[in-house]
Every structure is written in C-alpha cells, then in structure tokens.
Structure 1
C-alpha cells in the first residue's frame, strides 16, 4: 500500500496537573518491564525454555508452555521495553525446541491436537508476527504453517472434496485420529473432567458420571470417544483460519485467503441448511451428524461437551473476524453472529450462585457480590435433553463482532446484553482470569460516557494484579519436578487488557486463537519501533465504526516525542480528518507570577486522507484528537508503508 506522507501536528495544550490515568499508565509500563524479567529469571533456562521436569500427557500440554508468554509481544507492540520483542522470540525458540524434544512439535509446529488448545499455543506466534512483520524468518514460518492446511498439502489435513479438516486433532503430522491416549478408558477417576459430564450421552447404560466407575463402562466410553470424537471435522477447527489469515497478511497470497473463506463458507452453508444452527460436527464424508446419529451436536469440543458456546462460539467469531480482514467487508459475519443469537433466544434470569454450571469460578470472580443477583444467563451447551449449563454471556465474543463491523445490529446485540444484566456494568473488580479478560462491561460503559472513573480504576487493578503475581513468584518454592504445567500461566505477571482498551480502544484477544487487529496503533517515529514512546500516555475516550476520540500526553520533563497515530494496526482504516485542540500563546507566563496562566484553547480541523497522523509532543503538553474514519478503506496488511 502506497500512502501519502502523513501530516504532522504539534501538541500545544499544557498538561497542568497530570491526570491520574496518565501517571498510572506509565507506572504500569514500568512495572511490567520489571515483572517479565523477574518471571524469565525465575522460570526460564538460558536457552529460553521453561524449567520443567514433570510428567507430560500424550497430546495435551504444548499450549501450556507457549501460553506462559502469550501477551509479551502485545506489550511490546503497545510500547513495552525495547528488548521485550527479542525476549519473546527467544522464549518461542526455546519452548519450540523443548516441545520438539518431547514429541509435541514437528518442524516447529504442533504435531496434532484440537484447535481449542492449538489456538492458545499460537497466540505467542501471532503476536510476534504482528509486532515485527519485517522478521523474514517468522514470515517464512507463517507461510509454512498455513501451508499445512491448504488443499495440496502433503499432510492431508484438509479434504477439498468434503470441505473438511479430516480430524479434530490435526497439525504438522496430518490428521491425528483418535483422542488423548489417557482417555482409552474414560473413568470416573478423571476428576477434573467431572464438571463437564459425560462426553457422549447416548451410550446404553450410561446416564450419569457415576456410571463411569464401572471399568467396562469406562472402556466403552473411551472406545466410543476414539471412534466418534476422533474422526471427522469439528467446528472448533474454524480457528485454523487465523493461521491462513496471518500468512495472507504478509503478501496477500490468494491461496490463503481462498482457503480460509472457502472453509468458513462451508460451515456457514451447513448452518444455513440446519435452520441457522451452526453444527459442531461433520463426518468423514462431509455429512453433519454422520458419527452422532444425525445430531448437529455431540462433536469434539462442541455444543454438548465440554464447553459448548465457549469453544464453538469463540471459533466461529474468530473465523468471522478473519473474514473481515481478508475481504474488507462484514458480509460473512453471520458465522459468528449465529451461535450468539441462538443461545440468546434461550436466555433466562437467575443468580450465578443459585445455578449449576460447569465453570463457576470465573463468574464468581467477575461478578463478585453481584453473583447472588438474578442476571441474564444463556445456555452454553445442548444435548438430547435440550439446552443446559446456563452461564452469563461472554462479552468478548459480541464485542469483537462489534469491533469488526460497521453494522448497527452488532452494537445493538451488545446493548441487549447490557439491558439484560442484573448488575451495574460500571463496577470494576480486582481479578484476572486465564484469558486476562473480563473487564469488558465497565469499559463499554466508559466508552458510552457513563463510567468516567474507569481508566484509573482498571489501571489500579492491573497494577494490583502485577503486584500479586510478583508476590506469588517471590513465595514460590516449587521445583521443575513438582510444578504443574499450568503453573506458569498462573504466575505470568504481564497484563495487557487495560492497556489494549485504554491506549488502542481494542478488546483483549480472543484467547483460543484470535488475531489482534488493533483499532488504534502507535509508532515511535523517532526510534523506528511500534508502540508509545517513553513518557507518553494515551487514552481512547470514545470509539465507533467511523470515529475515535483519543488523548495523548507527554508526562516527562524533557525530550520531545513523536508518535504516529495509526487507524488500525494493519493499516486498514483511513483517517479522513482530525479535529484537534490547540492552545493560545502565553504559557508558562511571567516567572514572577505564583501560578501559570490558563491559555485559551481552540479547535481546528485538519484533512488527513491517509491511515496515520504524526503528533509531536513537547514535554508537558497534551493533545486531544477526534478522528473521522472510513473503515476498511485499505487492504489489511502486516507491513504498511
């Protein structure tokens, strides 16, 4: 993409008493810089691998190693330390070599597992690609990994005739039929899986978890899982479209775009043929329900087991957002909208504390004292008995559809959830879940103008979470032989949700394999790297499809900074014009005066007609920009001019 030289404006309004959000934001950047170094020193070997000498499962586990660093490249992209990008790459290489030796990885890509988990594994890789698209080695990897799923791949992952990925477990080794070897006998001793119930609910003589105490039943369940959950396509495989989209963003090779769109379209056509319901399974011949008695539910990581909308809906929204990047239109968002609207039609109102659900700890933390108040719950799962496993809606899913779309209906979907909630969306609570998400409601209220204290509140929560993780690291007495493979995720002190929302106007990444196109991105033009320059704080105050209002502020005392404000990290949006505030001359005034004069401010409109605007920030100056945008005016790309 060839773009005109961006216009440059200079911030002239004196900061005055610095706002709390700006001081807290810069303190968070500093704290995170200390924190990731501490984590690396404590848990990583010199080669970048994780110190671990415990047991490994047959298929499950590779994701947990990569997840320890999943948001480190994101922090760099937002303005983290200069050496953080190199550290993220170092740990990717170290962990990849470690997992290769363990048998999980072939030629730098996972041998074969489900995309609910592989999507988690790849967040670190996607983040590195986005933060440093000029790295030729990672570009080659992006193409090589995506090639594994193209119709002509020697792996045979994809069947172009049936338009399916041939197995729920797939990867560098091709279709990996079956399920985890530990599940050959799926017995009641698998305590961690008990909250999710029976994987298959139509086997004779098995109606309750207690029935798995019988060794014969456990063996029959394991055999049926291998046969029925270990073959054919699963809706969660839609997350594989991120692999193809990431490769396409480098050079717009149509092979990747065509495969991702064709695969997504195949699933949407199946949904259209089934009264709009996205099925979770397709048999080896390409027929929905082929391995499940004709049922649209029952597949691996599908509607019935173990997570329902949590896995099916996430993969569908991930694919939907990818189609927007690939086409520049929102014409294919139905694949993501459908599952959300389906469960919303079956919503009920009840308190979390009075409702049986498979994942309750997340909601007890997210809702706090409001967990005892009736609120909107949607069914996460469906089996022969109908809808069940009612939980609060996951706001990240409809929020990403709204982020990607210019359709008012996507904003209305989010608004319906707000109206259906039985609690105050403005409340900011101190918690961090696995996805490092969950503060969408108070952020949305802030963007609506109804929660002005949100920036300070969420930054304080982020700092508190960093402090807690550092305390956990300090108190940790585990050894490589004794720690659990989820240990690193629970101690990773890097937090990016608040920074993504406040500086980029962007929700946290969809954790099971989403890409992260930022609504607003920054580039330190003096130092030639992405992110906010040192001492500069940013706050997106308002955001919509055709406009963004943000504030930039230089908190330091010396050194002019220059920052390019980019309408989209992939260069896809055009800034048509910018309305900015300017101060009249007169500051800092007469040195004999006891206080500085308050200069009058005016606004002016500047034509931009390009994807970015450069701002010069002298010390102690701020600027507010109202950007009028044309969404998706350019083709999304990793490398932008």
Structure 2
C-alpha cells in the first residue's frame, strides 16, 4: 500500500511506518523559522549557563536565603530560571541540553541545601503557589528522562510526603494540614520570625489579607505602626497559617508524577481522595471555597468564611492562584482516574467570576494587569470584558482581564464544547483583535493563547510565522540583556534580587509547544505537561524532532488532527509520532496527504522523511484512550 509498511502484515511495536513522497520544492517559511528558533535557543541557553552559573550547575550567589521575615521564600526562584529547559530538549533541543538541565538542577539543589532551605532534597515548607513553580524543572526532567533511577526514587519520596502515611496529610479530614508544608511536614504560620505584617512594601498593591482585624482598614496603617503590624500578623497567622488552602491541590502534581513513573495505584488513589474532598466542599455552593480548618470544616479558622485562605480568593492574587490550583488538581484527578467529573472543580472558579464580569475601560483594571498592557493599548473599542479577581467581606473586587491560559488549558484537556464556548464568550467580550501577536515575555512564558486559538479555528492563517518571529525576538532581547548585564558575574544578585535570573532566561518554548505539539504552555504553578502530540528521533532514540525537521499542527480535533512534517535538510530523518505526552491518546487511523486511512490502534506511528520531503499527516484518535505512562517508547516496546 502506498505510503505504509506493515512488515508483512505484523504491526511494528511503534505502529505503522508511513513514508513522505512529496518533494519540498520550496521550504515553508514557518519551517525555516522553526529551525532558526531551535538554533537560536541552543546558543542562548549556553550563554545563560556560562554567565550565571558555576561548574557544578549552581547559580552564582554570594548572599544567603533563610533569614528574616521572608526566610522561607526563594527556593522556587533558584529553579525557575531553568524551568523550561527540559521542555526544549523534549521538543528537539540539542542532545547536551538534558545533561545541562540535570546538572543545574543538582547544583541548585546542593546550593539550597547548604542554605538550609531544603531537607533531604525537598523544600522544608512553603506555600504551593511557589512550590508548584519551583517543581516544573523536576517534572520536566522526569518526563524527558523517565528511566533515570535517581529521578524515579526522588519522585516517589517527594510524593510520599503527602500520602496518608506522610507528615503533611490528615487522612481523616482529607486535608493538607497547613498552607506552608513540605519535607518537614506542616510549617505553621508564615515565617520562622515573630509574627509581623507587612513583610514588604511590594505587597501594598494587594491590600490587607483579612477584614475586621483590630480596626485596621489600610495597608499603610500597618506599615506606619510596627506594634499594630505585629498584632495583625498574629491574627493572620492564627486564621490563615493553619489548616488547608485550595492552592495545596497543586501537591497532587507530585503524586501524579510518581504514579506516571511507577504505575503505583496508591498515588492515583490519594489524588482522587484529596481532590474529591474539595469537590465535596464545593457541593451546594456557588463558589469553590479556598480554606478548611484543621477540623475539616470550611472557614474553620475564618469565622465560617469560604474565602480568606492563604493564596485564596481574598489575597494576594485571587483568581489566578485559585483557578490554577483547582485546574492542576482537577486535571490530575481526571487524568489518573479517567473520571471527567473532576473537571467541574476547575470550571467553577472561572464561571463564578464570569457571572460578575463587566465591560470596563483599560484604566479601570486592577492588579496583575501588566500582562495585558500591549493588548489594551491596541484596543479598538472603549471597553473590554473584565472579571473580578478577588472576594472579601465587601464582595467581589479587583477587576482585570481573565488569564486566558486557564480556560485554554481546561478546554485543551477536556475537549468539551462547553469549555470551548467559555473561550468564545471571552473572545466576544474582548475589545482587541484576538489574532494579534504581541511580542512580550511574562514570567510563566505564556500569553499568546488568543492568536493560537484563532489559528486553530481557521481565523489566523499567518500566525505560525508571526509567532515564531515573536519568539525569536523575545529570546534575542534576553540575549542582549545578558550580554549587557552590569551585574558582577563573580557575585551575582543579593537576596532581594533573586528574580534577576528568571527575567533573563532566554529559552522560550510557548511557540514550539503550540505549533509543533498542538498544546498550550504548561501551567506555571505546578502543572504537568499535557501535549496533544509529541515526537521522538527514531534513529537516535531520543525525545524531540530530529535535526532539520519541522512540524506544524494545524488542527487538534481528536477526529481530525492534522500535522505537517517537513524535512528541510539533505539527510533522511525518521520521526516517531506519539499521541499525548504520556502516550495516553489512542491513534485509530493515520492518513498521509490524500492517501487512504491506515489502521494504527496505538499511541505511535513512524514517519520516514527522505531528504527534502514533506507530508501532511491526518490522525483520528481517542483522547486518553490508552494507558498513560511516563516512559520512553523504547522502554515500553
């Protein structure tokens, strides 16, 4: 049969072998830009590594963490500069990027251990808004190198900290016992120093965490009066520094990661039990609560309030932390159990604030609005849809544009029409053109969901070229900033400047994730990698697209997934196409160009690309129709 080889009728371990027969008469511009981006990033990460790290991979840093009122903070900031390096390797970055990322992870772990920020390689105890950020590097390494015995051992040990026999979890009330938790179990309160608030004037824009405490009505009253600040801090610690908080749902990422690496059901059982407890707390309520007392009751330390938990609805960020935690927990539970009902937990925060949405002017936005600056500047309408980010005793407040990556990640995972309709509602209420690509780099290296969504729906045909050009520009800006950085390379930043490195990380993966895999950026506060497609170099037996190969996913509908594969070089390439980050999707048929559909009935098919050839691969697949595992395809064959 033209374009397929089934080896005398017996299906190979990795599915049928498909052949490209269409010559490349002119290399598509998107393919050239994609390969240019891979090459630029390969140079960029080396520059960063040479400039800011030492021989064992640690960051150049001569100050100390672990002292003062912010003494628990900072672990995530040391891992974050490398958070997407394993992802770049997974997509097709250079072969030595994986050992480099591993070296930096080990070096930073040793560095943080020396500063007494870790115990047995894991954070001693901090909130999951930050722990989730810091763990992305570890999760990425596990996915990129799942056979590594050390990573597997650490993954299970870290996850066991939260299982029923671990120090953090109360299996009777199904709670994580404190907002700050980790290797040493509950770490009560918010610092190891005397209770005090505010810690930093940087918190001023977010106002007060609690209402009705000692007659305090404004942040500045505490900044001006240390004694009142101490009294407020003690009340805050008593009400917010113990019991469970919604962002702890991100801890399910540790258990999900361990489950995918080992196949042990005990991890899935815990994820289901803990996430299920939060589902029960939502039952009969309009809004997902953000806190649970040590006795298992909602509002147990907050006079019955469903809001007010640490990194919850009231303070400091509201929706972005609440919805992210709910989404991470819900997708982990649905992924491991196959029960889609868990996703209602993630839908509720989004729909709750959408019910309170308003059309507002750009100058009426609240906190966390910087990400939208280029969009709002380009508005053609006077107003745009904004939602309240937060809720306290006075009701909903702090309106800004909904972070699109949250409903986008939910729809990409569920593929439910109701979740796509939520995006359409946001699009209809937007005051700017969703097809526009704005060159910007924010902390989570996301922010281009809207033009990608338009591309997937056939309304933004030149998005690939513009997005890749934007990614090249964004990385080049950081390379230029590194080269002109006045920071002394022998000393590095002080403890107040440890965000310096993450602002200069020149690796950008959002464009490559969207275009080559048909997937959004990873949720930054502890999400696992969920991909529609991924690739392996079948000759080198390593993850990622082979050299000279480019991929463009133009349709992610399960019944009509379309990807263009182009070999831009003079040598033949062999690509193993995998459905899902964990081979969890089941490919039913594959069709080359206009040829007939070929049965696959598995998560893989192999594509042979002779020199200077291309093909269009159309797949029908069942989403999460196969057993997921974090493993190499050659390990499972």
Which TM-score band applies after superposition, normalised by the shorter structure?
Answer: over 0.9
In structure 2, what is the equivalent of residue 449 of structure 1?
Answer: 458
338, 341, 344: which one aligns with 1:334: 344
**Cross-structure match for 1:510:** 523
Corresponding position: 1:193 with 2:235:
no
**Deviations, residues 286-319 of structure 1 (Å, cap 9, x unaligned):** 1111111110000100000001111010000011
Q: Which residue does 2:7 correspond to in 1?
A: none
Q: Partners of 2:211 and 2:15 in 1: how far apart? A: 60
Match of 1:163 in 2: 174
Q: Which residue of 2 aligns with 1:587?
A: none
Q: Please report how far the alpha carbon of residue 356 of structure 1 lies from its aligned counterpart in structure 2 after TM superposition.
A: 4.1
1:371-410 map, 5 Å:
373-410=382-419
Shift of 1:55: 4.4
Superposition deviation, residue 251 in structure 1:
2.3
Cα distance between partner residues in 1 of 2:151 and 2:62: 29
Q: Deviations over 1:577-633 (max 9, x none)?
A: 12221xxxxxxxxxxxxxxxxxxxx43221211111100001111000111111111
Q: Residue deviations 1:471-519, cap 9 Å, x none?
A: 0000112132545100000110000000000000010000000000211
1:210 counterpart = 2:252: no
Report if the CA contact (8 A) 2:330-2:346 is conserved. Answer: yes
1:634 matched to 2:626? The reply is yes
Q: Match of 2:579?
A: 567
1: CA distance between counterparts of 2:337 and 2:584? 11
Query: Are residues 1:280 and 2:272 paired?
Result: no
The reply to whether residue 260 of structure 1 matches residue 252 of structure 2 is: no
Check conservation: 1:200, 1:298, Cα contact below 8 A: yes
- The Cα offsets for residues 69-96 of structure 1, whole Å up to 9 and x where unpaired, read as 0000000000000010001110000000
- Specify which of 249, 253, 275 is matched with residue 242 of structure 1: 253
- What TM-score comes out, normalization by structure 2 length? 0.94
Report 1:145-544 matches (<5 A).
145-153=158-166, 156-181=167-192, 184-187=195-198, 190-212=200-222, 213-273=224-284, 275-352=285-362, 354-370=363-379, 373-479=382-488, 480=491, 482-483=493-494, 484-544=497-557
1:11 paired with 2:20, answer yes
Matched residue of 2:396: which SS?
strand
For the 8 Å contact 2:18–2:608, the answer to whether it is kept is yes
2:33 matches 1:20:
no
User: Residues 214 and 130 from structure 1, CA distance in 2 versus in 1: closer, same or farther, beyond 3 angstroms?
Assistant: same
Residues 1:69 and 1:428: Cα distance change in structure 2 (over 3 Å): same
- Report the secondary structure of 2:46's partner residue: helix
**1:309–1:381 contact (8 Å) kept in structure 2:** yes
Q: Which residue does the alignment assign to 1:551?
A: 564
Instruction: Tell me the TM-score normalized by structure 1.
Output: 0.94
Give the match's secondary structure for 1:460: helix
| 2:568 is the counterpart of 1:576 | no
SS in 2 for 1:603: coil
Task: For structure 2, list consecutive stretches of 5 or more residues without a partner in the other structure.
Answer: 1-10
Give, in whole Å, the separation in 1 of the partners of 2:41 and 2:538: 23
Supply the distance in 1 between the matched residues of 2:123 and 2:374 (Cα, whole angstroms): 33
d(CA) in 1 for partners of 2:126 and 2:88? 28
Q: Quote the offset at 1:409 in angstroms.
A: 1.1
Q: In structure 1, the residue corresponding to 2:204 is in which secondary structure?
A: helix
Which residue is equivalent to 2:123?
110
The structure-2 alpha-carbon separation of the partners of 1:371 and 1:529, relative to structure 1 and needing over 3 Å to count, comes to farther
Q: 1:482 to 1:578 in 2, by over 3 A?
A: closer
- SS, match of residue 172 in structure 1: coil
SS of equivalent residue, structure 1 residue 477 = coil
The answer (yes or no) to whether the contact 2:585–2:626 under 8 Å persists in 1 is yes
RMSD: 1.5
Deviation, 1:183, is: 7.5
The whole-number CA distance in structure 2 between the counterparts of 1:161 and 1:8 is: 52
- How many residues get paired? 614
CA contact (8 A) 1:324 1:404 kept: no
Distance 2:476 2:344 in 1: 42
8 Å CA contact 1:71–1:496 kept in 2: the answer is yes
Measure the CA separation in 1 of the matches of 2:539 and 2:585: 23
* Counterpart Cα distance in 1 of 2:212 and 2:321: 21
CA 123–371 in structure 1, closer or farther in 2 if over 3 Å, else same: farther
Following superposition, the deviation at residue 363 of structure 1 comes to 1.5
Moved more, 363-372 or 379-388: 363-372
Counterpart CA distance in 2 for 1:632 and 1:328 is 8
Q: Deviations over 1:171-223 (max 9, x none)?
A: 00110001034673214x82200010011122131111222122232111111
Cα deviation, 1:148-179, whole Å, max 9, x if unaligned, reads 011112xx200011110000000001100010
Q: Partners of 1:158 and 1:387 in 2: how far apart? A: 32
Which residue number corresponds to residue 149 of structure 2? 136
Between stretches 244-253 and 326-335, larger displacement belongs to 326-335
Match in the other structure for 1:599 = none
